Amino acid sequence: METNNIEIPQGFRLLALEGGIKYAGRKDIGLIISTRPCSYAGAFTTNRVQAAPVRLCRERLGHNIHAVIVNSGSANACTGEEGYRDAVTITRLLEKGFGFPKGSALSLSTGVIGVPLPVEKFETALADTSRAETGAEAFARAIMTTDTVPKMAAKKVVLPGGREVRITGFAKGAGMISPNMATMLACIITDVDIPVKKLQKYLLEGLEDSFNAVTVDGDMSTNDSLVVLANGASQTALQDKEERRAFKKALFEVMESLALQVVKDGEGATKCIEIFVDQAKTRRDAELAARAIANSLLVKTAFFGNDPNWGRVIDVAGYSGADVRESRMELFYHDRVIFSRGKPLPFDKKELAAKLAAARDIKIRLSLGEGKHSRRLYTTDLSYDYVKINAEYTT
């Protein structure tokens, strides 16, 4: 996955502006600008409390889109009808500034819930974009909140005859991550020529094993949004099943990379933990067991302390709601089986603890011995820093 020297698909511009929304002296507004109208696909939080930008983006699904404005510093969530009007206002400012049709821009916001958008600051920032910083990394940094690194991914799809299309994606998110659709915010742009129904289909098919396969803290945001824009600037359409398959695979790889970058940058995280539950009776059983383990505070703190406390994993599987039997389960840390058929197997605890301490990436596998279904999730450990970051988030 390309993360250095990120190429921007044809027909797109990326800008970063300083709005002073929460802090002075930093870029906090990112713009995606397309010279051509884009097919627009999206997926959003299933939280019943939804931020104003989510409402606006849902309403504009199926419309031709020219631009996206993304801000950090304010989530514009729980801000009432005024918040919705503010989201519409800043998109209209963007549309007028670049000469785009009314209703052809999207708003995405991230930050503290309940803080109104300072519309006048957006108006000032958008009044003169000539001093904006440009490029992929500038945009990625402008949308960060508690993130410690910008999150970007890109793929080039080479089709028969030397035809090429590019896919480039950006994400922000480090905490409040247990999305039931996407990460906190993600934008993917591509210059392929593709019908919106096909684009939406590929997006939804890729969610399950990318953004829906990660959790940092078990909390779902009010603002979770994934938008994908395709402007056709490459003048390259997908002509057959093989080409569609190649594009779909590349789109998924961008989504997967962004999702994993979110986990690896989890607030206070020192480890990325892959949890693989297999041999489940049903897909739902595999999901229940894997997600319960991934969100268990006791499991996460054990990994932070490099404690091979396997009993916590078995315990969580037992109460997860999945159909499990102790006598059939096997648990592996990396490739070492440490619990099998109802009892622990001998292992050197100090040796395994040392291996956990030395590893940034950890793999555990729980085989339920009940069937053929599986589920893979990615999570983090839970550190002192996570508590500190979130205890002081608004103060």
Residue 390 pLDDT > 90 = no
Residue type, 70: V
Give dist(CA 166, CA 171) in Å, integer.
17
CATH code (residue 280): 3.10.20.340
Which distant-in-sequence residues (6+ apart) come within 8 Å of 260 by Cβ? Answer: 214, 272, 378
Q: What is the mean pLDDT of the chain?
A: 92
List residues bridging with 344 in a β-sheet: 339
Mean pLDDT across the stretch 13-30?
A: 92
Confidence of residue 4 (pLDDT cuts 50, 70, 90): very low
Instruction: Indicate the pairing of strand 272-280 with strand 361-367.
Output: parallel
pLDDT for the residue 391: 83
Give dist(CA 186, CA 255) in Å, integer.
9
Confidence of residue 181 (pLDDT cuts 50, 70, 90): low
Give dist(CA 129, CA 291) in Å, integer.
44
| Most confident option among 188-192, 217-221, 379-383 | 188-192
Mean pLDDT across the stretch 335-344?
A: 94
Same domain, 101 and 146: yes
Within a domain: 89: yes
User: Which of 244, 264, 284 is a domain's end point?
Assistant: 264
Rg (Cα) of the chain, in Å, rounded? 22
pLDDT in tens, 312-326: 999 999 999 999 999
pLDDT for the residue 265: 84
Confidence of residue 3 (pLDDT cuts 50, 70, 90): very low
Same domain, 169 and 260: yes
Give dist(CA 250, CA 238) in Å, integer.
13
CATH code (residue 99): 3.60.70.12
Same domain, 70 and 99: yes
Domain that holds residue 174: 12-264
360 in Cβ contact with 345 (< 8 Å)? no
Same domain, 228 and 118: yes
User: Which of 219, 235, 264 is a domain's end point?
Assistant: 264
pLDDT for the residue 178: 58
Q: What is the DSSP code (8-state) at residue 9? A: P
Same domain, 257 and 278: no
Residue 177 pLDDT > 60 = no
Within a domain: 3: no
Give dist(CA 361, CA 354) in Å, integer.
14
Within a domain: 2: no
Residue 393 pLDDT > 80 = no
Q: Mapped to the 3 state alphabet, what secondary structure does 224-285 carry?
A: CEEEEEECCCCCCECCCHHHHHHHHHHHHHHHHHHHHHHHHCCCCCCCEEEEEEEEECCHHH
List residues bridging with 279 in a β-sheet: none
Share of the chain above pLDDT 70, in %: 94
pLDDT in tens, 341-364: 999 999 999 999 999 999 999 999
pLDDT in tens, 81-119: 999 999 999 999 999 999 999 999 999 998 888 989 999
Closest CA to 232 of 64, 101, 38: 38
pLDDT for the residue 386: 82
Closest CA to 280 of 329, 315, 319: 329
pLDDT for the residue 145: 80
Read out DSSP for 49-81?
Answer: S--HHHHHHHHTTTS-EEEEEEESSB---S-HH
Residue 394 pLDDT > 70 = no
Within a domain: 314: yes
Same domain, 115 and 158: yes
Same domain, 101 and 197: yes
- Residue labelled with tokens 């502006």: 17
Within a domain: 1: no
User: Which of 243, 264, 285 is a domain's end point?
Assistant: 264
Same domain, 339 and 256: no
Within a domain: 4: no
Residue 188 pLDDT > 70 = yes
Terminal CA-to-CA distance of the chain, rounded, Å?
38
pLDDT for the residue 56: 97
Give dist(CA 315, CA 295) in Å, integer.
13
- Both tokens assigned to 131: 């001093």
Same domain, 252 and 279: no
Active site amino acids: 183
Same domain, 193 and 324: no
- Both tokens assigned to 327: 């006598």
Closest CA to 213 of 248, 272, 259: 259
Same domain, 74 and 115: yes
pLDDT for the residue 281: 98
pLDDT in tens, 203-229: 999 999 999 899 877 667 788 899 999
**How many separate domains does the chain show?**
2
Within a domain: 204: yes
Residue 1 pLDDT > 70 = no
Within a domain: 88: yes
Residue type, 214: V
pLDDT for the residue 269: 84
pLDDT for the residue 268: 77
Same domain, 308 and 366: yes
